[in-house]
A and B are shown apart, each in its own frame.
Chain A
Amino acid sequence: EDKVVQSPLSLVVHEGDTVTLNCSYEVTNFRSLLWYKQEKKAPTFLFMLTSSGIEKKSGRLSSILDKKELFSILNITATQTGDSAVYLCAVSSGTYKYIFGTGTRLKVLA
């Protein structure tokens, strides 16, 4: 059965800290891995990764995929209170099939 596991389940840090969120997967017919940020409403897209070893960056956020070891990490540097959210990892195994992890809840304290 396809599955996506995220860790840790939750995390509390202080502003300015760096955090690393993990996503491991066992999925047949891997197509891509996606990261989303969910505050109190719609998940918003952060990154899509298809190739191993190529880092994607957007401001203080970055992500990388290891297709050999079947995992991805999402790094957030110099965290701010606005980074507080649930971060979702999803793996696509087909055009319509996205398998989601249960998310990592990040709380950043001022």
Chain B
Amino acid sequence: DVKVTQSSRYLVKRTGEKVFLECVQDMDHENMFWYRQDPGLGLRLIYFSYDVKMKEKGDIPEGYSVSREKKERFSLILESASTNQTSMYLCASSLVAGYVYEQYFGPGTRLTVT
């Protein structure tokens, strides 16, 4: 079974802090994604990566950056956390391009910024 893990289930940070969310997948998937999930808005794509060191902006990249130094690990960075970044963050991975594959999701990190 594919396993996608995220570093924290719950996180509370203060405004202005730098926040790191980590995601690790164990199935050698090429694609990795970061979403945020908010009530009434569904899942919105922040960034995705299709290979090591490769990244593309999603629909809402402002205020976020990402890092993918190893194939299995994809990090989301909030450079200076703000209260409007309070949300559930979900990481996902999938097999590579040329076809559409289902995404496998991690358990999520519920981030609260105070």
Contact = CB atoms under 8 A, between A and B. Distances in A.
Interface of A: 4, 31-32, 34, 36, 41-45, 48, 50, 88, 90, 92, 95-98, 100-103
B30 to A, nearest CB: 10
23 contacts: A31-B100, A41-B107, A42-B4, A42-B90, A42-B105, A42-B106, A42-B107, A44-B105, A45-B102, A48-B102, A50-B100, A95-B50, A95-B96, A95-B98, A95-B99, A95-B100, A96-B56, A97-B45, A98-B103, A100-B42, A102-B40, A102-B42, A103-B42
Interface residues of B, number: 26
A90 B48 CA distance: 16
Contacts, number: 53
A42 to B, nearest CB: 4
Contact of B100 (A43, A92, A101): A92
A26 to B, nearest CB: 15
B90 A43 contact: yes
A14 B17 CA distance: 46
